[in-house]
Amino acid sequence: MVKMTENNQACPACGSKNQPDAATCASCGAEMTLEPESAGFSDNDPELEYVDPETRVELERYETDTGAEAEIDCGLLRANGIACELGAQTIPGLPANMILWVNRKDAESARALLDDVETPGPDEAD
């Protein structure tokens, strides 16, 4: 049985507590190879997935057939520490749109980041 301390690490496979220096899980044998969350970008960080409805602004609107572009843009923003959400707007009789929402305080930097990515480089210009 593992003595519980503050430094125990949870198994990435089963969640069991293990000694801080354990190479494999004492319960299931899985390798304890995952890096701590603070070591880099986490694509499912709840703080980057939530935009307060009271302070959100629409940053971009995509047609539904460009939904992949919306996901890529939102992923780019999250990778740069900017929280964003995607939401669908459906109005009867009109094509559906995907809306990219960000917090008002992040709107300017988010717009600059997306504009920078969309600006063609010297080799791409017509």
pLDDT tens, 92-102? Answer: 776 678 889 99
Q: Which residues contact 32 (CB under 8 A, 6 or more apart)?
A: 9, 11, 12, 18, 22, 23, 24, 25
Number of domains the chain is built from: 2
Q: Given pLDDT bands bounded at 50, 70 and 90, which one contains residue 67?
A: low
More confident call, 16 vs 57: 57
Q: Domain check: are 22 and 54 in the same one? A: no
- pLDDT for 103: 95
Q: Which domain holds residue 21?
A: 1-34
User: Above 80 in pLDDT, residue 106?
Assistant: yes
| pTM attached to this predicted model | 0.57
Q: In the structure, how many helices (H) and strands (E) does the chain have?
A: 3, 5
The verdict on residue 20 lying in a domain is yes
Instruction: Tell me the angle at which helices 67-79 and 107-118 cross, rounded to the nearest 10 degrees.
Output: 120
Q: Of 100, 69, 97, 102, nearest to 83 (Cα)?
A: 102
On whether the CB atoms of residues 41 and 54 are closer than 8 A, the answer is: no
- pLDDT for 66: 58
Dist CA 100 CA 31 (whole Å):
38
